[in-house]
Amino acid sequence: MNPAHHANLPYGQDQAQILSARALAQASAAIRDWPGYAPTPLHRLPALARRLDVAEVLYKDEGGRFGLGSFKALGGAYAVARLLCRLTGSVLGREVGLHELGMPEVRAVSETVTVACATDGNHGRSVAWGARMFGCRCVIFIHATVSDGRKRAIEALGARVVRTEGNYDESVREADAQAAAQGWHVISDTSYPGYMDVPRDVMQGYQVMMDEAGNQWDAAGGSPTHVFIQAGVGGFAAAVCGWFWERAGAASRPRFIVVEPDAADCLYRSAARQELTAVTGGLETLMAGLACGEVSHLAWMILRQAVDAFAVIDDDAAIATMRLMACPLPGDPCIVAGESAVAGLAAAMAIAADPQQRAQLGIDAHSRFFFIGSEGDTDPELYTRLVGASADSLRGARAAQAGA
């Protein structure tokens, strides 16, 4: 892992301009009413905490979120719902609330709408699920290296999937071009000048898991001192960071560390240069959900001010951490964590073992680490190949152990 790079950027812009508690309350009320909603678990890993010489390791496992395998279920589907409220309201000549999306007159308008997006897998799956739930059509663009397993999972939700040449960022541009030509509506988790509202809705949906986590760690002994969060375009990291920002402010918020693959480190490079910097090329990493070369502008508005450090890891570190979660230290739970889920934890283990970096980030025996396991085995075949055991077999062994 490369050494953590401190941003040393100004802090203090009013983030209510981007994400707000009021908008989160609206998102939370809607999402908690969706079929199958349940808070995802927050696991304590005491043995790993002892190894890292910290007081607590807390891991929120998003692998079971709505049966879609990742936290992305919260964002893309919620943005679809918000878009349909705006579009149907315009046609019907009145304001349409989120609770009305199942009404026949609203549904009839929704059926004329097509939503589209580019994806590495998880976001497109959420958008397709939201489109099916709320009754609109869906076209998803995937780039050249997205696995067939992830393609099939999106198609199973009723979406049409189009494979493009090139990397993720090129698939984003193709989705935008096709949507403009066909009159479709883009549901993207990345933002750029002139396109902010939908990515803001995506990020607001993500924050629902942070409200859950806040309640869970209060019951587990207190809030974290350090948050290690993985990033692709940055929307996920910014949503988590913004949640802490609004509640704790600059004085009492935890230290915040953003982690990327070393082959797709656009945030790390942007922080180093203190300006948005793109990464080009194949972006070849096993961490498919993080293989993004261009930073979301909306996310950067938060991250450039609030992140304490940026770090990168390689694929080998991610694989080793997946295996550690599958076959944990004695006393810790077995957790199915996909390749993009473990980047934050992999970086934290490397940083905690380095005295200089521990000192830079104020890590000591009283520190409480928080991670979000952003996906489970969203590509079961790849997971089995990397870990050496299927997720189903590990879950079966975990269930048997719990029942013993």
Q: Which residues are catalytic?
A: 72, 120
Report the Cα–Cα distance between both ends of the chain, in Å, rounded. 39
Give me 22's structure tokens.
């009021």
d(CA 373, CA 60): 6
Question: H or E element: which one contains 372?
Answer: strand 368-373
Residue 234 Cα distances to 83, 114, 260, 338, 367, angstroms: 22, 26, 10, 18, 25
Per DSSP (E only), the strands in 154-282 are: 160-163, 185-186, 226-230, 255-261
CA Rg value for the chain:
20
Reduce the DSSP state of residue 212 to 3 states and report it: helix
- Please enumerate in sequence order all residues whose Cβ is within 8 A of that of 37, keeping only pairs 6 or more positions apart, or say none: 31, 66
Reduce the DSSP state of residue 259 to 3 states and report it: strand
d(CA 144, CA 272): 29
> Within 57-158, where are the H helices?
72-92, 104-110, 122-134, 148-155
DSSP-assigned states of every residue in 177-202 = HHHHHHT-EE--SS-BTTB-HHHHHH
Residue 375 per-residue DSSP state:
B
- Please enumerate in sequence order all residues whose Cβ is within 8 A of that of 207, keeping only pairs 6 or more positions apart, or say none: 19, 24, 27, 239, 240, 242, 243
Residue 291 per-residue DSSP state:
-
d(CA 241, CA 255): 10
d(CA 341, CA 338): 5
Pairing of strands 42-44, 56-61: antiparallel
Q: Which single residue is written with the structure tokens 């299927």?
A: 390
